[in-house]
Amino acid sequence: MGDDVRAGLKFSSLDSPLFDGAESTKGDLIAYLEAVGDRMVPSLRERPLSVVRVRPGQESFMQKNLPKYTPDWVPRVTLWAGSSKREVSYALCEDVRTLLWFGNQRAVEYHVTLLTADGLADYSGSPTHLVLDIDPAPDQPFGQVVAAAELIHQALTADGLAGAVKTSGSKGVHIFVPLRPGVNLEDAAAATRAIAARAERLDPALATTAFIREDRGGKVFLDSTRAGGATVVSVYSPRIRPGATVSFPVSWADLPSIDPHDFTIRTAPELLGDRDPWAEAMPEPQSLPADLIAEGHTIPVARVQAMHEGKRRARARREN
């Protein structure tokens, strides 16, 4: 297969393997993005985009800063990155053409922030969603994730909230709770911690909020740290995983019976047909109950707590 011109873009090397274990080509990636792009772009739009690219014979790498050869027509926003102490020029993927351009650069994964670009400029904006990320313990089946997701579902329902669930494209699931405008970052992060804590209390033998891996004891991890400027892989995004799986929406009723490996860049378009199950499943934006926010503010921030605990354990080891 030679060069191909679509959407005003020239695609090349379409018959080259996408990555080791993908069982797909670069052409398969472009065809997938073309097929689902109209349903994927709404979750990317107005959000600073980070992509994970993979070049032949190289390790995959995350790209935040747009390369100099990026076409002028690709929208972008410049934001200060505190971690790297520099300004970063992020893409804004506003249309399928931009998505296909990234695909031609061998961008496989698409990660977005929970705030729009305007809200991230000075962190004054409101997150559009709360996100709970559920990861199984090593060597545990997907059923462990399903059971933990149901705990989150119960905790949300008990507080009058509703969320939509999707596979992560890897071993876990993401639960999205859409928010009404006006929730500040600290309250949103606190509410996320409280939901995870309430779910943990429903079955502490199954689930844990322990951020330090060695403290989890084979339990499934309820990750409540996707807040603020954190990113999450977009719905419908492919992943650099065996079989080129994708992050795929599922209904709560169907979650116990699915295998996340069944959703790949080759199978997903046919499974979707003309539908957009993510848009169909997403509840209306909601307000956060005051009791949830209040409880969350009593729970330490996991990363900060883990950092202090790590230092304490290192000090104890030195003393011993």
Contact between 237 and 247 (Cβ < 8 Å): yes
Query: Residue for token digits 């014979």?
Result: 57
Please tell me the predicted confidence (pLDDT) of residue 314.
56
Give the per-residue pLDDT at 1: 41
**CA distances from residue 202 to 150, 154, 175 in whole angstroms, order as listed:** 10, 9, 17
Cβ neighbours of 266 (radius 10 Å): 16
Largest CA distance in the chain: 66
Residue 213 pLDDT class (50, 70, 90 cuts): confident
Q: What is the mean pLDDT of the chain?
A: 91
pLDDT at 82 over 80: no
For 96-106, the pLDDT digits (tens) are: 999 999 999 99
The pLDDT-based confidence of 80 (bands split at 50, 70, 90) is confident
Characterize 202-217 residue by residue with b for buried, 16 or more Cβ atoms within 10 angstroms of its Cβ, and e for exposed: eeeebbbbbbeeeebe
Sheet holding 249-250, edge to edge: 207-208, 220-223, 129-135, 173-178, 164-167, 249-250
Q: What is the pLDDT of residues 256-300, one digit of tens each?
A: 999 999 999 999 999 999 999 999 999 999 999 999 999 999 999
CA dist 106 and 19 (Å) reads 10
Element (H, E) at 271: helix 268-272
In sequence order, which residues have a C-beta less than 8 Å from that of residue 10 and are 6 or more positions away?
3, 4, 104
pLDDT tens, residue by residue, 3-44 = 576 767 899 899 999 999 999 999 999 999 999 999 999 999
